[in-house]
Amino acid sequence: MANYSWPAIGNESAVEFLERSLKNQKVAQTYVFAGQDDLGKSTIALAFARNLQGLGLSVENLSGQTGINSDLHILQPEPDKKSISIEAVREFIKTLQLSSFLNSYNIGIIKQAELLSEEAKSALLKTLEEPKDQVVIILLTAQEDSLPATILSRSQVLYFQPVPAATIYDYLIKNEGAGRALAKDLANLALGKPLAALKWLEHPEVYREYLERAEVWLNLLTLDLNQRLQALDKLFSDKTWSKQATSAAQELLLMAEGLLRDLLLLSLGQTDRLQHSALREKLEQVTKSLPGSDQAAHVSLLLNWLKLIAQAREYLVANVNPRLVLEQVVINI
């Protein structure tokens, strides 16, 4: 019986399903891996591809970045483009239809499939309606509902769920040699995303920068209006209307939402569930400085601020200028 190799953390149900498919030789032509970023969709897709091709995959860590063979093709958005064009999809399909170099499967992985243009989706659907032997296509997406029902109905959809913090904590200690305190803080901060925790462990300067930015945002809550706008300049200086600016604003709002949620948990006495446990002392200081003299006042204020953040995220989705969105948050918070 073949031995299959998979990443060592999380996504157990998806891995079990894919391994059964391999063992029973019941492989679908198209898969959709749906779930948030940093849950391991790409890593599992690469592992599945290599297992399917009979190459095996020696996974030494979560990133799983080994060489890509000539029968494995990856399509993803270009950095300066907002969508994946029909031309890119046609070229991708043309490549998949060539004979396999390894006399095995030709496998195509589409990253951020939610960014496929409408024309590109139609071109892909036509290919799925005329399946070819020994070709497997895997679509990775954080927004399953962005794909047409006609594509989803022809695909095997696998859902990737957040990994428990305890599982990430154990992995970081046992497999990566992290100290217990750091492993706990990273596992909490990752919010179920093991690849995010691993990234911070491997790049401590990125982790430190995140915490520094989080502290700037927390300090912002205690400042007057002019000082808040000055603090925003430290966090977000991009005044363009680019894809990169929108993405950076989304990340900042996600951080703000997590910090406000932590302040709410502290106000309610739920100290064991903090996401930013590394900043607990600072969070406690800010909680004590919030307007209002009782718990009910603090909770009401924080809930209103969380609604403000949620509204700001909707504005970004509606393509409102990112800098303007953040300024409105800072002014009204």
CATH number of the domain within which 82 lies: 3.40.50.300
Residues 209, 327 within the same domain: yes
Q: 3-class DSSP state for residue 140? A: strand
Which spans in 191-291 are helix H? 194-202, 204-220, 225-235, 243-267, 280-289
pLDDT score recorded for residue 59: 39
With 70 as the cut, is the pLDDT of residue 317 above it?
yes
Kindly state the percentage of the chain with pLDDT values over 90: 71
Q: Rounded CA gap, 287 and 225, in Å?
A: 19
pLDDT of residue 65: 39
Q: Determine the Cα–Cα distance for residues 265 and 271; give it in Å rounded to an integer.
A: 6
Q: Comparing 293 with 142, which gets the higher pLDDT?
A: 142
Question: Are the beta carbons of 139 and 170 closer than 8 angstroms?
Answer: no
Same domain? For 266 and 220 the reply is yes
Closest to 210 (Cα-Cα) out of 233, 177, 186: 186
**Model confidence over 40-97: pLDDT tens digits?**
899 999 999 988 887 443 434 334 434 456 789 999 998 777 889 999 999 999 999 8
Q: Is residue 6 situated within a structural domain?
A: no
- Indicate the range of 23-27, 84-88, 214-218, 310-314 predicted with least confidence: 23-27
Per-residue pLDDT, averaged over 286-292, amounts to 88
Q: Is the pLDDT of residue 131 over 90?
A: no
Give the end of a domain, one of 138, 159, 180: 159
The pLDDT of residue 247 is above 80: yes
Model confidence at 100, in pLDDT bands (50, 70, 90)? confident
Task: Indicate if 221 and 190 belong to the same structural domain.
Answer: no
How far apart CA 187 and CA 199 sit, in angstroms, is: 11
Domain termination site, one of 172, 202, 232: 202
Same domain for 112 and 209? no
Query: Would you give the DSSP letter of residue 109?
Result: E
**Measuring CA to CA, how many Å separate 85 from each of 113, 117, 188, 199, 318?**
11, 6, 38, 30, 21
pLDDT reported for residue 2: 55
Q: What is the pLDDT of residues 167-203, one digit of tens each?
A: 999 999 999 999 999 999 999 999 999 999 999 999 9
Q: Which residue has the tokens 């953390």?
A: 9
Torsion-angle region of 163 (φ positive above 0: left; ψ -120 to 50: alpha; else: beta): beta
Residue ranges making up the domain that contains 184: 163-202
**302 domain-assigned:** yes
18 and 124 both lie in a single domain: yes
Asked if the structure places residue 36 within a domain, the reply is yes
189 and 227 both lie in a single domain: no
Q: Please state the rounded mean pLDDT for residues 260-287.
A: 95
Q: Are residues 127 and 26 in the same domain?
A: yes
Residues 31 and 147 placed together within one structural domain of the fold: yes
Q: Would 4 be classed as within a structural domain? A: no
pLDDT at 226: 92
Residue 291: which of 300, 279, 281 has the closest Cα?
Answer: 300
Confidence of residue 281 (pLDDT cuts 50, 70, 90): very high
Q: If you average pLDDT over residues 90-111, what whole number do you get?
A: 88
| 112 conformational bin, left if phi > 0, alpha if psi -120 to 50, beta if neither | left
305-326 burial code (b ≥16 CB/10 A, e <16): bbebbeebbebbeeebbbbebb
**What is the pLDDT, as a whole number, of residue 200?**
96
In a domain, 7, yes or no: no
Angstrom CA distances, 163 to 63, 107, 160, 297, 310, stand at 16, 27, 9, 34, 24
Q: Which of 182, 196, 185, 187 is nearest to 166 (CA)?
A: 187
- Residue 86 included in any domain: yes
What is the overall mean pLDDT for the chain? 89
Instruction: Note whether 317 and 257 are same-domain residues.
Output: yes
Co-location of 152 and 167 in the same domain: no
Query: What is the identity of the amino acid at 72?
Result: L
Note the pLDDT of residue 11: 86
Asked, for residue 21, whether it belongs to a domain, the answer is yes
- Token pair of 261, please? 């949620």
Same domain, residue pair 288 and 225: yes
pLDDT at 283 > cutoff 80: yes
Nearest Cα residue to 15 out of 31, 29, 1: 31
pLDDT at residue number 239: 82
**One domain, residues 77 and 119:** yes
Please name the residue ranges forming H helices in the chain: 12-23, 41-52, 86-96, 118-129, 149-152, 165-176, 180-190, 194-202, 204-220, 225-235, 243-267, 280-289, 295-317, 322-332
Distance CA(31)–CA(152), nearest Å, equals 9
How many structural domains is the chain composed of? 3
> What is the structure's pLDDT at 20?
93
Q: Is the distance from CB of 253 to CB of 309 less than 8 angstroms?
A: yes
Tell me what pLDDT residue 102 has: 73
Q: Is residue 153 part of a domain?
A: yes
Write down which residue in 99, 130, 159 finishes a domain. Answer: 159
